[in-house]
Structure 1
Amino acid sequence: MKRKIAYPLFAVLICAATANAQDVPRLSGVLPAGAQSGKTVDVSVRGSALLGAKSVWFSRPGGVRDEGVSGRIIGDTVSVDSSAKPLHQAKCANCHELRSPANRSLSPEQWASTVARMVKDHSAPLSPEEATKVTAYLQALTRAGELSVQITVAPNAAPGKRELRVVTANGVTSAATFLIGALPEIASDGAKTSLTAPQKLLLPVTVNGNITASGQRDYFAFDAKKGERVSVNLEAYRLSEPSAQFFNPVIFVLDGSGKVLQKSSGGDTLLRGTDPALVFDAPADGVYTLLVRDLLYHANPLSVYRLTVGAGLPIDARFASGVVSRPGDTVTPSLAASLPIPANAAQVSVAVPQSASWGIYDAPTGFGNLPVFVSSVPDGGAPVADFATAPAVSLPAVFRGNIGKPKSREDVAARHIYKVVTTRPNVPIYFAFKSLGSKLRPWVQTFKPDGTYIDGYYGDGSADFVWNNAFKEPGTYLLHVMDSTNASGA
C-alpha cells in the first residue's frame, strides 16, 4: 500500500559601474554535473569570458571553501580574434537570433546554421564575407567559453551540492552547481540508444546526461522484481534554475512492448520545482525501460541532467518540520519521506556556517541538500494551545511549523495559532514555505485577542511571500496559519 505524506512546512518571519556583458566571466553549466565520492572525473565547464582561466575552486553553500573537492584546468584555452567584434556589434548585437554566447547558449554548429538562416530567411544585413566573419567570431566565443577541468573528489567528501567557480584574467566567475553523490555514476550513451537498444543500468546508479540533438531520446533498461519499488529522480532544474527556460525534461517507464506504464513531467511529482521524479511499482518480474527526453523535443548544450535510479531510494527526503537556525548554530532535525528512511539516518546534524546569510541555506545531508531557514531574529516558539492565557511573543520573531492535521481551513483546532505583540505600526510578515520544499497553500489571518477577524492573506503556493503592513497598529494579535486546500495530513 502506498503511503502519502504531505509536507506543509513553513517559517514565518515578522520584523521591523558596469562592464560589457561579453567581458564578465560567468558559468552556465558543467557536464557531467557531479561525481561519486572518491572518484576523479574530467568535465566540461561552460560559460562566457573564460579567457585566461587560471584555477578552479569549490565551496559549500554559504561560501565555505571545500578542500575535499579540487579541480585543475587541463588542455589549452581558445583565443578569440576580436577583429570582427565591431562588425558584430554594429549589425548583430540587437538581433535576438544573433546575440553573443554571453546571452545565448548554442553550439558552434548551431551558430553557423543560425547565421545562415538569418541571412537567407530574414535578410540579415550581412554580405557573404561578413557572414563568414561573424560566424567565426561567434564560434570562437563559444569555444572560448568552454574549459576542460579534471575534478578529484576525496573519499570522505560528504554528498551534496558544491559551488564551482573559475578564476580568470577578468575576475572570478559566477557559481555553477556540482553535486557529490554516494552512488556509482556513469555517462549516458545519449543519442546512441534506442527503444530496441537501450543502455543497461545496474541499480542503484546515477546517470549523467545531456540532450544536445533535437528530438533526442535517451533510453535505459533495468531489471525489477514483481512488487519492487524503484525510485527515479531526474535533476536538471536543481542543477541550474535558468535551464527551465529551454529544458523541460520528462521521464517515462515502459514495458517490454514499449507501452507507457508511468511518466512524470515535473510539477506532478513529490519534489519541489520542475524536475520530474516517480516511484514505480514493478507489476511483474522483467526488464523495464526508462525514456528521458525534452517535453518539446528541444535541445541545448546546457540541457544537462543527472538521473538517479534505485530500489527504495527515498528521493523526496526532507526535514519533517521547518528548520530555523541562527548563523553558527548546529541543529538536529528529523527526516521524513514517502519511502522509509533507515533508522540510523532519520536524524541529521546540520552545522550552519557563521557566514550563512539571512534566508535559505542549503544544508548538505546524506539525501542531498535540504533547506534551512537562517535568521538572527529571536525564536518565537511553538503555536499556542490556549491563546487566552498564553503570553504574547514580542516582535520581531521567527516561527516555524508543520501543519499535520487535515481541514485546517474550517477546523480552528487544526490551525497553527501564534500570539504576538508589537510596539510598532505596519509590521510585515515574511512567509517562507516554497523555498523549504513545502506543498502548503498558505492562508494567513490576523485576529484581535477576543477572536475578532481583522485581515487575511492568501498565498497561491507558487512562491514565498511578504505580507506588508500585516499588523497595522501597535498591540496584541492572534496569527492563524492554515492550508487553504485542506490537504494537510493527506
Structure 2
Amino acid sequence: MKRALLSTALLLALTAPLGAMLKHIERVTPRIAQRGTTVEISIRGTHLDDPKEIIFDRPGIRAEAIGPVTKLPVTGFQHGGRIEAEIKCRLVIAPDCAPGEHRFRLRTATQLTSLATFHVTPFPVVDETQEKNGNDTPATAQSVPMNVTVRGRIDGSARGDLDVYRVTAKAGERLSAEVHCARFADVHYGDSEFDLAMRVLDANGREIAANDENP
C-alpha cells in the first residue's frame, strides 16, 4: 500500500508542472516601451483562455483592458514552441518605473502561464522604418535623434538583414550605442538568437568603430 501511495504522489508531482507549462507565452509585441507611457501589447502563445490579470514581479507596470482570447492559425517554431492564441491588453508604465527587465505571468481562470518579460527604457522609442529594405544603405539611412531606443526589425532572410541609422553629433561629443536581440525580441524563448554586429561610420562612410562577438 505504501508503494502504491508513493507512486501516486510521484506521478502527481511530475505531472503538475507539465500541465502548468501548457499555458505558455511565446511572443510579446512590442516588448519594450518608455517609462511614463501607455502601450498596447499583444501576447501570443498556447492555452491562454479566460485571462484574468497580468502579474508583474515588481511595481511600476499596471495591466488593464485585458481582451478576450482570439484563436490563431497554429504556428510552430524550431525550438518546439508554438502559437495558437492571442490576447491584447494595455500596459500603463509609471513615470518612476525602474528601467530594465520586468517579468510577468498571465493568470487565467485556472492557472498561471509560463514566465514572460517586458522591458522598460528611460528613452523615447522609435520604430525602424517599416518599408521593406527602407534603411539598408547609407543613402537611405533612417535619421534618429540622440538618446532614443530604436525598436528594429530583422526580415529573417537567409542572407541576413542590414539596417543603417543616421545620427547627428557635434565634434567632441560622446556617442554610445548598444544592440540587443534575444532580450528585446518579440519571441521570448527561441527563434531570436541572431548573430549581431555593429559598425559606426563617419559622414564619408569610413568605419571609425565596430563591435562583433560581444555578449
TM-score by length of 2: 0.72
Q: Deviations over 1:457-484 (max 9, x none)?
A: xxxxxxxxxxxxxxxxxxxxxxxxxxxx
* Deviation of 1:170 (Å): 5.0
Q: What secondary structure sits across from 1:202 in the alignment?
A: coil
Q: How far apart are residue 234 of structure 1 and its match? A: 1.8
Q: 1:256 to 1:57 in 2, by over 3 A?
A: same
Aligned residue number for residue 71 of structure 2: 79
Alignment RMSD, CA only? Answer: 3.3
2:194 match: 247
Alignment partner, residue 126 of structure 2: 186
Residue in 2 aligned with 1:225?
170
Structure 1 166/199 Cα, relative in aligned 2: closer, same or farther at 3 Å? same
Indicate yes or no: 2:117 matched with 1:177. yes
Quote how far apart the aligned CAs of 1:53 are: 2.7
Letter in 1 for 2:129: D
Residue 55 of structure 1 aligns with an amino acid whose one-letter code is E
Is this contact kept in 1: 2:124–2:149, CA < 8 A? yes
Equivalence for 1:460: none
**Aligned-partner Cα distance in 2 for 1:81–1:160:** 33
- Give the partner amino acid of 1:253: V
User: Aligned-pair distance for 1:238?
Assistant: 3.9
Cα offset, 1:204, TM superposition: 0.7
The change in CA–CA distance for 1:198 and 1:58 in structure 2 (over 3 A counts) is same
Distance 1:238 1:248 in 2: 13
Quick check: which has more Rg, 1 or 2? 1
- Letter of the structure 1 residue corresponding to residue 83 of structure 2: T
In 2, Cα distance between equivalents of 1:45 and 1:249: 26
Q: Distance in 1 between matches of 2:24 and 2:127?
A: 25
Which whole-Å deviations, capped at 9, do the CAs of 1:121-167 have from their partners, x for residues lacking one?
A: xxxxxxxxxxxxxxxxxxxx6351x3323111112223232112212
Alignment equivalent of 2:40, drawn from 39, 42, 60: 42
Percent identity of equivalent pairs: 29
- Aligned: 1:166 with 2:106: yes
Contact kept? 1:26, 1:50, Cα under 8 Å = yes
**2:62 maps to which residue?**
70
- Aligned equivalents of 1:209, 1:186: Cα separation in 2: 8
Q: Give the counterpart letter for 1:150 in structure 2.
A: R
- 8 A Cα contact 1:185 1:207, kept in partner: yes
Distance 1:224 1:77, change over 3 A: same
CA distance in 2, matches of 1:266, 1:81: 36
Shift of 1:189: 2.1
| Amino acid in the other structure paired with 2:15 | T
Q: Following TM superposition, by how much is the alpha carbon of 1:222 offset from its aligned partner in structure 2, in angstroms?
A: 0.3
Counterpart CA distance in 1 for 2:191 and 2:71 is 31
Q: 1:263 to 1:208 in 2, by over 3 A?
A: same
Does the CA contact (< 8 Å) of 1:22 and 1:102 recur in 2? no
Asked if residue 209 in structure 1 is aligned to residue 152 in structure 2, the reply is: yes
Alpha-carbon shift at residue 27 of structure 1 (Å): 2.3
Instruction: Answer yes or no: is the 8 Å Cα contact 1:22–1:100 preserved in 2.
Output: no
> C-alpha distance in 2, partners of 1:22/1:35?
29
List alignment gaps of at least 5 residues for structure 2.
1-13
Q: Distance in 2 between matches of 1:178 and 1:222?
A: 27
Contact 1:51–1:79 (CA under 8 A) maintained in structure 2: no
| TM-score normalized by the length of structure 1 | 0.35
Give the Cα–Cα distance (whole angstroms) in 1 for the partners of residues 203 and 102 of structure 2: 39
1:261 equivalent in alignment to 2:203: no
1:262 alignment partner AA: A
Distance 1:266 1:170 in 2: 43
